[in-house]
Chain A
Amino acid sequence: MLSVQLHWDPFDQLDPGPCINVVVTNSQDVIRAGRSIGLEYPEPRPMRALLDTGASVTVISKKFADHSRLFQTNEGSEITAIGATHRCGEHAGAISFPGTSLRALDPIRILSADFPGERHYAILIGRDILRNWLIVFDGRSKCVTITE
């Protein structure tokens, strides 16, 4: 089994938490179908994602969902974060993990919501993805290891 190691410093209060590089695009099936009728899609763009065991679902910043022109499949879903409720969209996308051996997920449901003021990451990787992996949070070594 191959593993991925991420740096994370729980002793640094400004550390946002364990983050991984991801690329979020439309599902390859959507891109193929869209291109066949002349639709265009933006080039994939790497972004940072937080491994968030507190998130039941994967959520992308609405700004990046719009930039990626993610295919929307629902609207008006609700998420609660720190007591506040936010309305969000639902999209069918694909997530890959460049530079790692982790398997890409395509298609996968991704919710979109406003991330006001967040500078460190554009995506929360929720338990719908985390449940596929063995993850070790080693605070003393400042390291997170993901094994698929």
Chain B
Amino acid sequence: MARTGQFSAELKVFERHRDEWVRSHPGQYVAIQGDVVEGFFETYAEAFKAGLSAFGVRRGFLVKQVWTTEPVYLVS
């Protein structure tokens, strides 16, 4: 289900490490649940599968690409 605020803890972890991760893992995808960082992956699918394997489905987990600024997707 689409909910807002679901990932506030994970997004705080992401923001806390963003500068460091942009240098070490630019463009890669990270999977996070709470303050547990599962790892960095080349593709969304890989990060999702790793997150699912580590965290399961009972509680959500964040999959996010590491960028300096957030991309804005175009739909025209």
- Name 25 A/B residue pairs within 8 A (Cβ), A-sorted: A29-B52, A33-B57, A39-B57, A52-B75, A54-B74, A54-B75, A55-B73, A55-B74, A57-B75, A65-B2, A66-B2, A72-B1, A72-B2, A73-B63, A77-B71, A79-B72, A82-B76, A90-B63, A91-B2, A107-B45, A107-B48, A108-B44, A108-B45, A109-B63, A111-B73
Q: Min CB distance, B27 to chain A, in Å?
A: 15
Kindly supply a per-residue 1/0 record for chain A positions 1-38, scoring 1 wherever the CB is within 8 Å of any chain B CB and 0 otherwise: 00000000000000000000000000101100110010
A56 with B73: CB separation less than 8 A: yes
B residues in contact (CB < 8 Å) with A? 1-7, 11, 44-45, 48-49, 51-52, 56-58, 60-64, 70-76
B residues within 8 A CB of A55?
73-76
- Interface set, chain A 71-89, CB cutoff 8 A to B: 71-82, 85, 89
Majority secondary structure of chain A interface residues (helix, strand, loop or mixed): strand
Separation of A66 and B3 alpha carbons in the complex (Å): 9
Of the candidates B51, B70, B75, the one whose C-beta lies within 8 Å of that of A81 is B75
Q: Min CB distance, B59 to chain A, in Å?
A: 11
Separation of A91 and B58 alpha carbons in the complex (Å): 15
Given contacts A77-B70, A90-B63, A92-B48, A71 and B75 within 8 Å (CB-CB) = no
B1 with A66: CB separation less than 8 A: yes
- Interface set, chain A 55-71, CB cutoff 8 A to B: 55-57, 59, 62, 65-66, 69-71
A residues within 8 A CB of B51?
73
Separation of A71 and B45 alpha carbons in the complex (Å): 13
A78 with B72: CB separation less than 8 A: yes
Of the candidates A56, A62, A91, the one whose C-beta lies within 8 Å of that of B75 is A56
Q: Min CB distance, B56 to chain A, in Å?
A: 6
Q: Which residue of A lies closest to B63 (CB)?
A: A73
A78 with B70: CB separation less than 8 A: yes
Separation of A77 and B62 alpha carbons in the complex (Å): 12
A80 with B2: CB separation less than 8 A: no
A144 at interface, CB cutoff 8 A: no
B48 with A81: CB separation less than 8 A: no
